[in-house]
Structure 1
Amino acid sequence: MSLVLAGYSLSVAQRGRLLQRYAEQRFTRDAAPNTGPVPDYSKLTYWAASPDKPDPGDSIPLFLKGEQRTSRADVFFIHPTSYIGDGDENEILNPGSNRRDLFEAMQHTAWNADLTDTAVNRRTDSRAILYQASVFNGSARVFAPRYRQANIKAFFVRDSPSAQKAFDLAYGDIKAAFAYYLAHANQGRPIIIASHSQGTMHAIRLLREFFDGKPLQQQLVCAYLIGYHIPVNTFAHIPVGSAPTATGCFVGWRSYQKGANPRLVAQENGNSVCVNPLTWTTATDWVSREQHAGALLRFNLVVPQSISAGIEPASKILWVTLPDKVGERIGKMENLHTLDYNLFWMDIRHNVKARIDAYLAQQR
């Protein structure tokens, strides 16, 4: 596959580097200044989800109306990027031929979100909190801070000083929220760290700073680090969860349609960790849809035994096959990033309960 430009034939890799330089030139000048208040986590307005207020993280699908729920642990959930302007996440992740128009639109956008931006907060709540954070509410209290997340453009130029400054600002808010949670709400309870996408990038940093080889690791049930690259030696003392009831560990995956071979993933040379959420192991065997507990396609619609999946041995991404109706709607979209939680919603919900059961049994 190649692109002919100005009389030259460019490979996919060369085209990617060209677009990278173009983005760096555009994004590092004329961006709007960061605005908005520093969050005060003693105020509930700075929490997207908290057991001290009603929020979308409390939502229970109708098909689980009779479920027996408990609150035996706490989940600290770090939401993914919802500060993307007027763009569509799937179009950004699965672009057509013209990314330059996308970059032009992002050029003047501030690097970090303003927490008084109601549109960004509404997008966070109606997507990440409703469809992702809620998966944990059958077995745990859910805490999810609002934070001055980096705009999605930072990921196109992630090694630039501007992007690093944006990521550091976002992480500073998350660190402050977690410190507030520890001081005022935890009281020694078991902890689950959960995240997606940008949230997982920050969750890795949080785990290194607060848990990895530190006393707080004793309270870690599991870290669900979903939708982001996790290199093999990310943690010194926190192991990958290689069994469904392993505790004090982490799990994670990145979902792609079967057969996908993304260029950026190929550049990782297999230095990645992936756990299959159908088996909760790192085995690369293909797993049939009979083991699938259920995808949440709309909030009150679960479709069980509809997803088969396997870890691609070379790249360590999760290849999945979708039911026909879903596949028709998604079309040629290879990167299923926005569906990382939805596709395995019931599998995650069941696993959270199993790991908390195992953790509490070990404490007796």
Structure 2
Amino acid sequence: MIRIPVSAALWCSAVLAVVTGFAVAPTAAAAPETTWLCSPGQAGDPCGGRSAAPVDCFYVYPTASLQQTTNANFDPSPELREVARAQARPFGADCNVWAPVYRQATLRALFTGSVQDRSAASDLAYQDVENAWDDYLAHHNNGRGVVLIGHSQGARMLRTLIHNRIDGKPVQSQLISAVLLGGNVLVRKGSTSGGDFASVPACTDPHQIGCVIAYSSFSKTPPADTRFGVAPQVPDDSAVRGSLPYGPDYEVLCTDPAALHDNLEAPIHGIISGFTAQCTSGAGPHVLMVAGPGAALLPALPNDTWGLHLLDFNLAQRDLVDLVAAQSAAYLH
């Protein structure tokens, strides 16, 4: 029997519980002091609390809030702690994990909100992430290298953060890598860069630094209306407006975490084991196709258009942790 990780099961239950109607969303105000879901040395830190690593990780969690408003508030609620424990804690063996609480667009907003609701919610969420990044750099980084880690909404927040505040800026020299899963990172067709980021390329070697690891996982051929693997042809109104590219000149980046260099079908190692994976290419969606005994039984939730979105981290977590360790060592060397 295939067991689904607690974080994915919790997310699925939350999705199924979403109902119509909205409470009043928080209004924008002056930049608040950062509430840290995870920070080194913090009591009860779901990311492990390590404070002696030579490098940092800056983690932005996916859509997880069960709050019934369009945007969440700054409460480090149990569902946020659970997803951080599942996704970010394993990286704490190699880095000090910093994870801000941000007023993310909630599950309710994403599933029942209008385009205008989602756009406004994402704008507010991104501003919190940017404020937290500025706080982290000003008061906590102390010149260390940093790995950016995000999934789903978290990956989309970090795409915009790299585009706006890191790519081509002095702080880019401190970027060890970015692990951006389930977020449709864009590159120019036939290239490893030139889409979302002008000078932050895809990772093509385990020891490469300053690069991006990105994919969305599927175990069946993505349907025509897939949410992942296909570049948008119009501006994405459900994300932070006006900052990321779109159109026929771009494609979605897929990097195989077990075979960065040659993208051969290779075993992947994670909480759920026994599978192989390989990135698709060509004219169709660019996704990480997962194969092996039982792969067809892995849940595509909420439906086939999402693929194995809830399991993006779980399927190859050991590979991702090992990659971050190798990249961090290369950076320090």
Following the alignment from structure 1 to structure 2, what is the Cα–Cα distance between the partners of residues 140 and 204?
21
Does 1:276 pair with 2:244?
no
Q: Which amino acid aligns with 2:39?
A: S
Q: Following TM superposition, by how much is the alpha carbon of 1:154 offset from its aligned partner in structure 2, in angstroms?
A: 4.3
Alignment RMSD (CA, Å) = 2.9
Q: What number of residue pairs does the alignment pair up?
A: 283
Q: Following TM superposition, by how much is the alpha carbon of 1:178 offset from its aligned partner in structure 2, in angstroms?
A: 1.0
Question: Any residues of structure 2 matched to 1:344-363 within 5 Å, and which?
Answer: 344-361=316-333
How does the TM-score come out when normalised to structure 1?
Answer: 0.70
Q: 1:50 aligns with which of 28, 31, 39?
A: 39
Q: Where does structure 1 differ by over 2 angstroms across 4 or more consecutive aligned residues? A: 35-42, 152-162, 258-262, 264-270, 326-334
Q: Which amino acid aligns with 1:113?
A: A
Provide Cα deviations, 1:300-346, integer angstroms capped at 9, x if missing partner.
Answer: xxx4xx1200111131111102543x754638965111111111111
| Structure 2 spans left out of the alignment, 5+ residues | 1-18, 188-194, 232-247
Following the alignment from structure 1 to structure 2, what is the Cα–Cα distance between the partners of residues 192 and 315?
27
Question: Any residues of structure 2 matched to 1:122-137 within 5 Å, and which?
Answer: 122-126=78-82, 128-137=83-92
Following the alignment from structure 1 to structure 2, what is the Cα–Cα distance between the partners of residues 154 and 78?
18
Tell whether the 8 Å contact from 2:200 to 2:211 is kept in structure 1 after alignment. yes
Larger Rg: 1
Question: Any residues of structure 2 matched to 1:130-279 within 5 Å, and which?
Answer: 130-155=85-110, 160-232=115-187, 233-264=195-226, 265=228, 268=231, 271-279=251-259
CA gap of 1:70–1:279, structure 2 versus 1, over 3 A, is farther
How does the TM-score come out when normalised to structure 2?
Answer: 0.76
Provide Cα deviations, 1:105-161, integer angstroms capped at 9, x if missing partner.
Answer: xxxx42101223x7xx211111x2111111211110000011110023544589833
Tell whether the 8 Å contact from 1:196 to 1:227 is kept in structure 2 after alignment. yes
Q: Following TM superposition, by how much is the alpha carbon of 1:37 offset from its aligned partner in structure 2, in angstroms?
A: 9.9
Following the alignment from structure 2 to structure 1, what is the Cα–Cα distance between the partners of residues 259 and 178?
16
Tell whether the 8 Å contact from 1:197 to 1:228 is kept in structure 2 after alignment. yes
Q: 2:288 aligns with which of 305, 308, 318?
A: 318
CA gap of 1:258–1:327, structure 2 versus 1, over 3 A, is closer
Q: Which amino acid aligns with 1:140?
A: C
Q: Following TM superposition, by how much is the alpha carbon of 1:241 offset from its aligned partner in structure 2, in angstroms?
A: 1.1
Following the alignment from structure 1 to structure 2, what is the Cα–Cα distance between the partners of residues 221 and 135?
17
Q: Which amino acid aligns with 1:177?
A: A
Q: Which structure has more helix as a fraction of its residues?
A: 1
SS at match of 1:81: coil
Show the counterpart of 1:92. Answer: none
Q: Which amino acid aligns with 2:290?
A: V
Tell whether the 8 Å contact from 2:298 to 2:308 is kept in structure 1 after alignment. no
Give the fraction of aligned pairs with identical amino acids, expressed as a percent.
28
Q: Which amino acid aligns with 1:261?
A: P
Does 1:83 pair with 2:65?
yes
Q: 2:23 aligns with which of 29, 32, 39?
A: 32
Does 1:41 pair with 2:30?
no
Following the alignment from structure 1 to structure 2, what is the Cα–Cα distance between the partners of residues 223 and 316?
19
